[in-house]
Structure formats: C-alpha cells, structure tokens
Amino acid sequence: MPPPTKTAQARAGEDSALATRENVGFLLAKASQRWNELLGERFAAHGYAEIRPAYGSILVPLFEEDGLRLGELGHRARLAKQTMTTMVRLLERDALVERERDPADGRASLVRLTPRAKRFRPVAEEVLRELDDQLGTRIDANQRATLEAALKEVIDL
C-alpha cells in the first residue's frame, strides 16, 4: 500500500508564513532572544546576574536623566502604565532603583537609580560595545546600516 499523500490543505499549511522559520517576525523574535541571552551572560560575568536585558527599557532613560516621574519614565520607555509599574517594582526588588517623593509635587514620586545601577552603566556600555564588535565580525558596515534601517522601520510600524 503506498504511503498516504498530503492533502492540499496540509501542503498549503507548510507553505504559510506561520509554518516557516523564514517569517520576519519569527526571525526578529529569535534574534532578540539570542541578543538578550548574550547580554544576560555577559552581565552575569561582570557580577550583574540579576539585571535582565528587559530592564534596559527603564534603565536607559534613567541613565540619560535620573529622577523621572513614573509617567514620564513610562513615556520614554514606551511602556504601558501597568507594565511600567511592574518593571519598577522588579528593579526596586533588585536594588537598582528607588522611589522618592517629588519635592515639587508631594503627590508624585520620582524614580532614581541606586548606586549599584549607576555602577552598572559603564558595564552595560562595555558589553554593548563588545556585542556590536562581535556582530561586526559577521556582517560588514553596509549590511549593518541596512539592518539598522530595517529594524527602525519595523519599530515604527
């Protein structure tokens, strides 16, 4: 008896964007996952194992301007209020940020970096430079420029 043949529907499913690992969204997700793994490994090697790459969305705006109100920090991080609150609580738990009353408005609070988070900044900058250099051994400057432009377009969708 010959083996059963695939139905047209099954064949169509194999060709769909969802069934292939060539889907742009899948590739972006996997690239992001790998980049975050590399960041986490290197942060841990420098003594900052508790710092998750996702914390960067909060830490970077605070590195640029420490002492932001929660709403402004959420705007700069492009995070919803609920997500922002959760992230700040995690950063507080890990002793990377602290909240204090805003002297200009006692009802509001400011999010500030702790000394440990401030010491982490040059480590993060070094790790990011190292990973950029490592990427530079795999792709040339033109490919990198094209990649950066394409990623910015995806972000702006």
With 70 as the cut, is the pLDDT of residue 2 above it? no
Task: Give domain status of residue 44, yes or no.
Answer: yes
Task: Give domain status of residue 8, yes or no.
Answer: no
Q: From residue 48, give the alpha-carbon distance in Å to each of 12, 119, 131, 151.
A: 47, 10, 17, 28
Task: Give domain status of residue 59, yes or no.
Answer: yes
- Each residue of 117-154: pLDDT tens digit? 999 999 999 999 999 999 989 999 999 999 999 999 99
Task: Give domain status of residue 78, yes or no.
Answer: yes
Are the C-beta atoms of residues 131 and 39 closer than 8 Å to each other?
yes
**Confidence class of residue 21 from pLDDT cuts 50, 70 and 90?**
low
Place of tokens 């991080």: 77
Q: What is the mean pLDDT of residues 55-63?
A: 95
With 80 as the cut, is the pLDDT of residue 112 above it? yes
Predicted pLDDT at 16: 59
With 90 as the cut, is the pLDDT of residue 155 above it? no
**Confidence class of residue 108 from pLDDT cuts 50, 70 and 90?**
confident
With 80 as the cut, is the pLDDT of residue 156 above it? yes
Task: Give domain status of residue 47, yes or no.
Answer: yes
- Among 84, 55, 87, 86, which residue's Cα sits nearest to residue 71? 84
Task: Give domain status of residue 17, yes or no.
Answer: no
The SS3 of residue 37 is helix
With 70 as the cut, is the pLDDT of residue 4 above it? no
Task: Give domain status of residue 19, yes or no.
Answer: no
Task: Give domain status of residue 107, yes or no.
Answer: yes
Range of the domain at 44: 26-155
Q: Tell me the CATH number at 63.
A: 1.10.10.10
- Each residue of 65-107: pLDDT tens digit? 999 999 899 999 989 889 989 999 999 999 999 999 988 888 8
Q: What is the mean pLDDT of residues 15-20?
A: 58
Number of domains in the chain: 1
